[in-house]
Homo-oligomer: A and B are copies of this chain.
Amino acid sequence: MLTLYDYLDSGNGYKIRLLFALLKRPYRWVELDILAGATRVPEFLAKNPNGRIPTLQLEDGTYLAESDAILWYLAEGTRFIPADPIGRALVLQWMFFEQYSHEPYVATPRFIRRHLPEDSPRYAELPVRLKQGRAALAVMETHLTTRRFFVAERYTIADMALYAYTHVAGEGGLELAPYPHVTAWLARVAAESGHVPLTERP
């Protein structure tokens, strides 16, 4: 059985829990206290030298890191990745957009506000990060103006990757009201059969 090393409040970890739930696939779940440094100890660094969750242990013992690479591994051959080369590449495009242009500006402000003390110097990062976060949401809004989902007009892992932190963007200080097409898409994702919330312990 696959083992997922994770932290409940992580949106990156939630992506994997959401896909497992949609696929109705059982797995072993190990929660690590990232705030107490549990991913930076030698035992975990031997699993993932980059010291981050989620990390998935495969059945042959291989450790696979990076949330969107894990999504791809688990979804390959299912309805959640298109079969045609262009559709597949566009799924990857949006997942790279998520990690480069979205996650540092939508997820990191949420982390700072939820998990760091109010006198942390990292609060000074918020204005620049939130500005970039609004730019990412604007790109999504433009794309979704004429589409129901990000790729191929159906629910794929690109939607899961982007949903994970977008639906809790308000917790970091990003209001979603100016992005009505994003808001409608969030509701479509949440209405999918088998959907589970971020806070649901597996």
Contact = CB atoms under 8 A, between A and B. Distances in A.
A173 interface: no
Contacts of A86: 58, 60, 62, 64, 73
Contacts of A34: none
A117 interface: no
A179 interface: no
Contacts of A99: 96, 99-100
State how many copies of this chain the complex holds: 2
A73 B89 contact: yes
B65 A92 contact: no
Given A85-B76, A96-B69, A96-B99, A49 B104 contact: no
Interface of A is mostly: helix
In this complex, the member of A49, A76, A89, A142 whose beta carbon has the largest number of chain B beta carbons within 10 angstroms is A89
A70 interface: yes
Interface of A: 49-50, 58, 60, 62, 64-70, 72-73, 76, 85-86, 88-90, 92-93, 95-97, 99-101, 103-104, 139, 142-143
